Amino acid sequence: MAGRKILVTGGAGFIGSNLIDSLLAQGDTVVVIDNFNDFYAPAVKRRNAAEHSAHPAYTLIEGDIRDDAALDRAFQHGPFDVVVHLAAMAGVRPSLLQPAHYMDVNVVGTQKILDRIIPHAEKTRLVFGSSSSVYGGRSGESFKESDRVDQPLSPYAATKASNELQCYAAHHTAGLQVVCLRFFTVFGPRQRPDLAIHKFCHLIDAGKTVELFGDGTTRRDYTFVLDIVAGIESAMTYALPGFDVINLGRSEPVMLFDMVKSLEKHLGKTANIVHKPMQIGDVPYTYASIDHAREVLGYSPKTSFDEGVRRFVEWYVSSRAKV
């Protein structure tokens, strides 16, 4: 269904900007709020936003989701058919150093977004970007949406679990239609530079040491960003029962060593690896059960891990050439 009015928080970021490519191409009107913080180079996000800025159906509000004046500017363009809430302080390890800041941005900021949507609960659907980190330390079996998520291993994970509870409370008390999407290790073009695939790609390309935490056998359910975008778009339109939680992954965990090998292959270079102990907050294993996503969203990830790495490296080399 095209021609909708959609708000994307954090829309200048990695997942948000890829989503907006698709929404604008479909004929939707898109409003973005993003604060261009310095968690990583703001210039990266400004380049993402610049790719959309000339489009007549795109409006950018520069501001923080905790700032009432910025939210006023964004929501004056509403009411919205869909709000896709992706804005957050991200990252497990950084959250160990700034737990109060993560709680402030992610929990207080999300509540402010909910408070703005609730008066329009009959019209607006919220699609919330959650995280596989809510599952905590697990191994072996796949992670199902019905699993307990009450033992987070980092402040970041705790904020995402809290956000899901906030969303449910808004559904229960105000009838807001909410779907929480638990993203599993998203990668691809425009990936944040602090994330492993981008970080390792840069280090291998530059001939620098690559620090692997653990023995290299940790596994992640890496998911290509355009498969995540397809899942988000389906979540905007499916027959939502009121409140739902859905995993979006590839359901094929990849060993850390194999991730490095794929980068080496597509870069045509060899990594200089140094092993380090596992860090506090890291989980050893992620593995999405995507049965529910297949059933209700028709979700079917199309991009293999190796093909996704090839496309990421192609983007990385092209972006490096433009700097």
Query: Would you say 182 and 231 are in contact if contact means Cβ atoms under 8 Å apart?
Result: no
Give me the DSSP letters along 216-259. S--EE--EEHHHHHHHHHHHHHS---SEEEEEES-S--EEHHHH
The contacts of residue 145 (CB under 8 Å, 6+ apart) are: 182, 245, 246, 247, 289, 292
pLDDT tens digit sequence for 121-172: 999 999 999 999 999 987 668 899 999 999 999 999 999 999 999 999 999 9
Q: Is 111 helix (H, G, I), strand (E, B) or coil?
A: helix
End-to-end CA distance of the chain: 38
Point out the residues that are catalytic. Answer: 156
pLDDT tens digit sequence for 197-242: 999 999 999 999 998 887 778 889 999 999 999 999 999 999 988 9
Bridge partners of residue 7, in order along the sequence: 31, 83
Q: Is 183 helix (H, G, I), strand (E, B) or coil?
A: strand
- The predicted model scores a pTM of 0.94
Range of the domain at 231: 5-322
Backbone angles phi, psi at 79, to 5 degrees: -70, 155
Count of positions (residues) in the chain = 323
Report CA torsion sign: 25, 26, 27, 30.
negative
Q: How many domains does the chain have?
A: 1
Across 100-109, 244-253, 277-286, least confident range: 277-286
249/135 Cα distance (integer angstroms)? 13
Is 4 buried (19+), middle (13-18) or exposed (0-12) by CB count in 10 A? middle
122/280 Cα distance (integer angstroms)? 43
CATH of the domain at 314: 3.40.50.720
Asked if the model's pLDDT at residue 323 lies above 70, the reply is no
Q: Is 89 helix (H, G, I), strand (E, B) or coil?
A: coil
pLDDT classification of 58: cutoffs 50, 70, 90: very high
Higher per-residue pLDDT: 240 or 303:
303
